[in-house]
């Protein structure tokens, strides 16, 4: 009888342990490997698409719950893909209840079934509209880059110098007012990071080649940083639809230009532009005691035609010298 009770007790304990195993072996995925994008359809239904960096190419099933360490039999696991064929976790907005959302992910690895639990912070999701907004950066307000907006004569170190100043010409509608902030990019600053992120966005071939996880990561960081910086911008009114680079700009100086457009109806649009200077304002000289005027001169290039002319000129000179020598020799004979 005792043996039967012992076996029964052991069986009950084993059953309880087997019930708890799925919860005990759960691994917690690093949230740094998670990117979330939210979207609202035309009916107003909200959904979240969760990208797990290491599982985008793995066939996995996921379930969502507001219960920590939920039992597997209480979860509804489904498999989903995005438009690009990546495996994702799809969460309907009405499935999100409570303050904390737990995502359970089940997949096979090395012929073993694994389940991971992820604690999601859906407040960090990037709205699809915000992603599209970031991708339109530099295109929301029309501008042209102009190398010679104006020429300025300045005396620098005793040298009269002509500076050709470039910048941005606003080509957008005239029926609006424009303001700007021009910031020189210094190393290891928020503006240097924004400049680097913008360059990645503007390289369309490289950006389009990225997977959706990387695109969300990039646009999310840019969106957060852009809004932080533009909120603290100090605006200057744009004159003559021109934004000039500083007169003291050196070659390869980099600038981030924020532009704000206020339409007649009060609608405000902001945009960011990148500007790189190719201007060398002046060369330092040691002989500054004497004032010199620097003028723009056009030098004729040495071409094949130029060489032919030099050879022809040399032959004519040689011929004249020979004729002159013979005439002189004849004159001497006649004198004899």
Residue with tokens 């307000």: 141
The confidence score (pLDDT) of residue 300 equals: 34
What is the separation, in whole angstroms, between the first and last Cα of the chain? 161
| Angle (CA) 325 326 329, round 5° | 90
The confidence score (pLDDT) of residue 63 equals: 94
Structural tokens at position 106: 């089940």
Answer yes or no: are the C-beta atoms of 124 and 224 closer than 8 Å: no
pLDDT band at 97 (very low <50, low <70, confident <90, very high): confident
Structural tokens at position 285: 């000289």
The confidence score (pLDDT) of residue 334 equals: 55
pLDDT band at 95 (very low <50, low <70, confident <90, very high): confident
Q: Which of 23-32, 49-58, 164-173 has the lowest mean pLDDT?
A: 23-32
Q: pLDDT (tens digit, 9 = 90+) per residue, 315-333?
A: 766 777 777 677 766 665 5
Q: How far apart are CA 74 and CA 71, in angstroms?
A: 5
Q: Which of 172-176, 224-228, 247-251 has the lowest mean pLDDT?
A: 247-251
Q: How far apart are CA 124 and CA 97, in angstroms?
A: 17
pLDDT band at 160 (very low <50, low <70, confident <90, very high): low
Average pLDDT over residues 73-100: 88
Q: Is 111 left (phi over 0), alpha (psi -120 to 50) or beta?
A: left
Going by C-alpha positions, the residue among 159, 183, 162 that lies closest to residue 287 is 159
What is the three-state SS of the chain? CHHHHHHHHHHHHHHHHHHHHHHHCCEECCHHHEEEEEEECCCCCEEEEEEEHHHCCCCCEEEEECCCCCCHHHCCCECEECCCCCEEEEEEHHHCCCCCEEEEEEEEECCEEEEEEEEECHHHCEEHHHHHHHHCCCCCCCEEEEEEEEEEEEEECCEEEEEEEEEEEECCCCCEEEEEEEEECCCCCHHHHHHHHHHHHHCHHHHHHCCHHHHHHHHHHHHHHHHHHHHCCCCEECECCEEECCCCCCCCCEEEEEEEEEECCCCEEEEEEEEECCCCCCCCCCCCCCCEECCCCCCCCCCHHHHHHHHHHHHHHHHHHHHHHHHHHHHHHHHC
Q: How far apart are CA 114 and CA 25, in angstroms?
A: 8
Is a pLDDT exceeding 50 seen at residue 236? yes
Structural tokens at position 259: 């532009």
Q: pLDDT (tens digit, 9 = 90+) per residue, 240-297?
A: 999 988 877 788 889 999 999 999 999 999 999 998 886 544 433 333 333 333 333 3
Q: Where do the structural domains in the chain lie, given as residue ranges?
A: 19-124, 130-276
Q: How far apart are CA 315 and CA 4, in angstroms?
A: 126
Q: Which carries the bigger pLDDT value, residue 97 or residue 64?
A: 64
Average pLDDT over residues 34-46: 89
- CATH code reported for the domain at 19-124: 2.60.40
Answer yes or no: are the C-beta atoms of 232 and 222 closer than 8 Å: no
What is Dmax (Cα atoms) for the chain? 161
């Amino acid at each position: 009888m005792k043996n039967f009770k012992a076996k029964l007790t052991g069986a009950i304990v084993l059953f309880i342990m087997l019930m708890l195993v799925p919860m005990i072996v759960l691994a917690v995925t690093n949230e740094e490997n998670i990117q979330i994008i939210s979207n609202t359809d035309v009916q107003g239904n909200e959904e979240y698409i969760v990208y797990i960096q290491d599982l985008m190419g793995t066939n996995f099933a996921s379930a969502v719950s507001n219960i920590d360490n939920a039992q597997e039999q209480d979860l509804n696991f489904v498999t989903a893909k995005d438009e690009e064929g990546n495996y994702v976790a799809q969460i309907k907005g009405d499935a999100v209840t409570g303050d904390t959302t737990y995502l359970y992910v089940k997949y096979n690895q090395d012929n073993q079934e694994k389940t991971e639990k992820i604690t999601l912070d859906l407040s960090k999701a990037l709205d699809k509209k915000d992603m599209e907004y970031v991708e339109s950066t530099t295109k929301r307000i029309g501008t042209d880059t102009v190398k010679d907006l104006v020429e300025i004569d300045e005396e620098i170190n005793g040298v009269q110098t002509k500076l050709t100043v470039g910048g941005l010409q606003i080509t957008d509608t005239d029926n609006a007012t424009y303001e700007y902030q021009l910031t020189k990019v210094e190393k290891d600053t928020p503006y240097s990071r924004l400049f680097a992120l913008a360059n990645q966005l503007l390289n369309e071939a490289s950006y389009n080649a990225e997977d959706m996880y990387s695109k969300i990561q990039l646009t999310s960081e840019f969106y957060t940083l852009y809004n932080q910086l533009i909120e603290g911008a100090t605006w200057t009114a744009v004159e003559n639809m021109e934004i000039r680079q500083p007169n003291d700009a050196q070659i390869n100086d980099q600038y981030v230009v924020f532009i704000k457009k206020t339409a007649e109806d009060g609608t405000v649009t902001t945009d960011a532009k990148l500007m790189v200077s190719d201007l060398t304002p002046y060369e330092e000289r040691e002989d500054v005691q004497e004032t010199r005027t620097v003028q723009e001169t056009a030098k004729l290039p040495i071409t094949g035609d130029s060489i032919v002319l030099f050879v022809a000129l040399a032959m004519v000179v040689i011929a004249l010298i020979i004729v002159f020598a013979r005439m002189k020799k004849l004159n001497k004979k006649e004198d004899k």
